[in-house]
Amino acid sequence: MADQPHAPDTYDRLIDDLTYAYEGVFTPETVAQVVHDARALLEPNAKVTQYLPIFVAKQAREHLMVVAQAEGRVAKQVPEVLFVCVHNAGRSQMAAALTEHLSARRVHVRSAGSQPADEVNPIVVEALAERGIPFATPYPKPLTHSAVQAADVIVTMGCGDACPIFPGKRYEDWDVADPAGQPLEVVRDIRDDIQHRVTQLLRDVLG
């Protein structure tokens, strides 16, 4: 079945909604630019364009919140944890999903890649599904200074010196195997290794 075209005002409505949500925080022009940037980032690699507005809305909303927190425009309700790997297609995605699953929303989680891939590793999604863990981020995201600045804890996995350093942040580097090109049984071991590390991190962060 072919993808259905979007209504002409789909993105205008999205801009209106986000402008309302961030009234007094960002100007309508800033919100519109963020939505256009999100669409430009995601549209070239969208495999099912029917759901593209959903992904654009998620990306734009996440970016606005990151910048608002990094610049002190909105107060944090819970600690922020950022997981970073090279492609944001495997390790950092699993770590973020496991942290969200195990933290009962007592932390807010983001993930990013220093060189994001076009799509998330499907074996990673399968390994998480085996544990009943939903996969909420359907695409790799680029690492930004704002995302690092907004985080309280930054965990890197194999991305070298790509992550900027800001004073007052907690940094950890996890030596975790890369699931790229690995069969499901190996990815299961990587998943379990990451879960063990996430459990310890949450104990430290949440006391």
Q: What is the pLDDT of residues 151-197, one digit of tens each?
A: 999 999 987 777 778 888 999 999 999 999 999 999 999 999 999 99
**pLDDT score, position 82:** 96
Run of H or E residues at 198: helix 184-206
**pLDDT score, position 120:** 92
| Domain boundaries defined on the chain | 1-75, 77-207
**pLDDT score, position 35:** 95
**pLDDT score, position 6:** 59
- Smallest CA-to-CA distance from 165 within 48, 84, 49, 60 is with 84
For residue 33 the two structure tokens come to 């630019």
For residue 88 the two structure tokens come to 């944001």
**pLDDT score, position 1:** 40
> Could you tell me if 97 and 155 are in contact, meaning their C-beta atoms sit under 8 angstroms apart?
no
Domain at 77-207, CATH from 3.40.710.10, 3.40.50.150, 3.40.50.2300, 2.130.10.30: 3.40.50.2300
| Whole-angstrom distance, CA of residue 169 vs CA of residue 166 | 6
Please name every residue paired with 111 in a beta bridge, in sequence order, or none if there are none.
83
* CATH number at 1-75: 1.10.8.1060
Q: Are strands 108-113 and 153-157 parallel, antiparallel or unpaired?
A: unpaired
Q: Which residue has the tokens 């390994």?
A: 127
**pLDDT score, position 8:** 62
Instruction: Pick out the chain residues at pLDDT < 50.
Output: 1-2
**pLDDT score, position 173:** 94
Task: Give the chain's length.
Answer: 207
**pLDDT score, position 95:** 96
| Whole-angstrom distance, CA of residue 144 vs CA of residue 65 | 13
Helices 122-130 and 184-206 pack at an angle, to 10 degrees, of 70
> Could you tell me if 154 and 169 are in contact, meaning their C-beta atoms sit under 8 angstroms apart?
yes
**pLDDT score, position 141:** 87
Please name every residue paired with 113 in a beta bridge, in sequence order, or none if there are none.
85, 142
For residue 106 the two structure tokens come to 């007592």
Q: What is the three-class DSSP state of 71?
A: coil
